[in-house]
Amino acid sequence: MTAITAVTSQNTTGVKSITPIPPKEILNQIMFTSKDIKPNAVKIGMLHSTKVIESVIKSLDNIKIKKIVLDPVMVAKGGAKLIDDNAIKLLKLRLMKRALLITPNIPEAEILTETKIRNKEDMIFAANELLKTGIKNVLIKGGHLTSKFVQDVLVNRSEIKIFTSRRYKTKNTHGTGCTLSSAITTFLSCGKPIKKSCELGIKYVNFAIKTNPNYGKNHGPINHLNTISVSRKFR
């Protein structure tokens, strides 16, 4: 089930416009769908204002789901901030602590910790800084660093796990972060533990990047159907 927070006009070359959905209607979407089918897990993506964040918090108080994955989307692919400082502050104070896992990329982790991340050690330091605020698990995505391999770092109070993946030379990476957090949430909803859910989610996204359909003139989408086997008679 999906609750839409904004409608965008965009293609592979960029975003033309963003139309926010009223916070009350976002709350209605979450509450009405969850009343019919209670979710096993919840993934939260871009929340563009304090009022939207407050609506989501209110809905979480009602549906009482423990498996929450928060992807703190706040920086566009081009580097521009997508939410204002007040929304970031509210996100840190009231929403992030409710999540079982948060999945910031490096620019987002830098904003949340007010640190500079240049390598794997900086990623681990930033993750530990986030744990100090009461967050249970932090997965910092390492795709923004320039290296032959991509390293994603999962940190909690009991361990540090580094997932190393091959980096593919492609511009078709639109939606990687949103897809990863959604995939992890799906595996959590199936009963997988947090570390295994991250491992399987990362593998799924990596293969989705590798098998991208190469659509559009710029940053095309990844292949979300990469795990589906099509019968020979339909090929």
Distance CA 73, CA 56 (A): 15
Distance CA 136, CA 133 (A): 9
Question: Around 197, how many Cα atoms within 13 Å sit in the side-chain half-sphere?
Answer: 24
Token digits of residue 143? 């795709």
**Which 8-state DSSP code applies to residue 96?**
G
Catalytic residue ranges? 141, 173, 175-178
DSSP assignment of 194-224: HHHHHHHHHHHHHHHHHT----SSSSPBP-T
**Quick one: three-class SS letters along 103-124?**
CCEHHHHHHHHCCCCCCHHHHH
Phi, psi of 142 (to 5 degrees): -100, 15
CA of 76: how far to CAs of 108, 177, 180, in Å?
10, 11, 16
Contacts of 169 (CB under 8 A, 6+ apart): none
> 160 with 151: CB under 8 angstroms?
no
Distance CA 205, CA 225 (A): 11
